[in-house]
């Protein structure tokens, strides 16, 4: 490390690149994770030009160096055991097992050939993907397949309702209910939801949203949509609930209604 310190002393100039590091990178709890240094990931510094690199957490100081790269050699620092961190061929930081304690801002310092030092940072959030299936309609009591279920409400329920839930997620997701029409149009019913700590999963959250319904003489389609950073490529996933007439109660085609429910879980992105 002494030769690296000499390089730092000779150069004496650092450039910080903060304009390309605004987004949070979410890594799954309990899995390996990779954080890219924005200076390198953006192409600002070519891979074949990097001579020296440091990764720091939670602050950029000598006692907070996690791991270093020096002309082909990767070594953990400050007594950190081998295998906890690594630097891969793209000069990204590899975290072997992501836990909540790893959440925060990571700093990278890069020294290209014949150039000054560059400093950057990336913010990492720990995510926990929600329990399958999601979103889930509580009233569905019999699952027909992975994407369909049915439920029949007793006739004596005075105020029937639909409750949509996404369980055990971090960060918490948001939910909204929409009314779907046969021509494909939708109408927002409610974007109100509640978030509570999950009962059986540590440091995760369960989101739920309920809407009242009234029986109608026509089939009615409802959509519960989930969105949030934790869903990644499945952001916007939804469950479509077909509410079918069990018996006639005076109403109009656009009133909410039913006692027999059939659900199809789909995703807006495939």
| Cβ-proximal residues to 119 (8 Å cutoff; 6+ apart), any chain | 14, 15, 16, 17, 60, 107, 108, 109, 110
- Whole-angstrom Cα distance, residue 99 to residue 89? 24
Domain 2-127 grouped into CATH 2.60.40.10 = yes
Evaluate the CA torsion angle 3, 38, 36, 204 in order and state its sign: positive
Instruction: Supply the pLDDT for residue 56.
Output: 98
Instruction: Supply the pLDDT for residue 14.
Output: 52
Instruction: Supply the pLDDT for residue 46.
Output: 94
**For 140, which DSSP code?**
-
Going residue by residue through the chain (270 aa), what tens digit of pLDDT does each one get? 333 333 333 233 455 554 444 678 999 999 999 999 999 999 899 999 999 999 999 999 999 999 999 999 999 999 999 999 999 999 999 999 999 999 999 999 999 998 899 999 999 999 999 988 889 988 777 666 655 566 566 666 778 888 999 999 999 999 999 988 878 788 999 999 999 999 999 999 999 999 988 766 666 788 889 999 899 888 999 888 877 655 433 333 444 433 444 445 444 434
Instruction: Supply the pLDDT for residue 83.
Output: 94
- Which residue's structure tokens are 């009615």? 220
Cβ atoms of residues 238 and 173 within 8 Å: no
Domain residue limits, the chain: 2-127, 136-266
Question: In the structure encoding, which two tokens stand for residue 83, read together?
Answer: 């295998």
Question: In the structure encoding, which two tokens stand for residue 112, read together?
Answer: 């290209």
Nearest to 107 by CA among 52, 66, 79, 49: 66
Evaluate the CA torsion angle 18, 23, 27, 33 in order and state its sign: negative
- Whole-angstrom Cα distance, residue 189 to residue 186? 9
136-266 shares the fold of 2-127: yes
Instruction: Supply the pLDDT for residue 181.
Output: 83
136-266: what CATH class? mainly beta
Alpha carbon separation from 22 to 59, 88, 190 (Å, rounded)? 17, 23, 31
């Amino acid at each position: 490390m002494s030769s690296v310190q000499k390089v730092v002393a000779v150069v004496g100039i650092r450039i910080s690149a903060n304009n390309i590091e605004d987004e949070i990178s979410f890594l799954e709890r309990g899995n390996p994770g990779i954080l890219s240094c924005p200076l390198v990931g953006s192409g600002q510094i070519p891979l074949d030009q990097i001579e020296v690199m440091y990764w720091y957490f939670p602050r950029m100081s000598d006692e907070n160096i996690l791991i270093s790269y020096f002309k082909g050699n990767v070594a953990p620092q400050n007594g950190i055991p081998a295998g906890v961190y690594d630097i891969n061929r793209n000069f990204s930081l590899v975290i072997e097992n992501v836990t909540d304690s790893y959440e925060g801002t990571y700093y990278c310092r890069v020294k290209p050939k014949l150039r000054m030092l560059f400093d950057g940072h990336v913010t990492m959030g720990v995510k926990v993907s929600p329990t399958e299936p999601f979103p889930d309609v509580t009233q569905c009591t019999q699952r027909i397949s992975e994407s369909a279920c049915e439920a029949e409400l007793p006739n004596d329920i005075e105020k029937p309702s639909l409750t949509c839930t996404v369980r055990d997620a971090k960060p918490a997701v948001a939910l909204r209910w929409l009314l779907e029409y046969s021509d494909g149009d939708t109408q927002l019913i409610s974007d109100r939801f509640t978030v509570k700590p999950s009962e059986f999963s540590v440091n995760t959250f369960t989101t739920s949203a309920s809407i009242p319904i009234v029986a109608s003489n026509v089939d009615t389609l409802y959509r519960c949509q989930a969105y949030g950073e934790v869903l990644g490529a499945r952001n916007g996933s939804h469950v479509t609930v077909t509410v079918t007439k069990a018996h006639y109660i005076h109403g109009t085609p656009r009133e909410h209604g039913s006692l027999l429910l059939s659900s199809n879980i789909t995703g807006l992105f495939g």
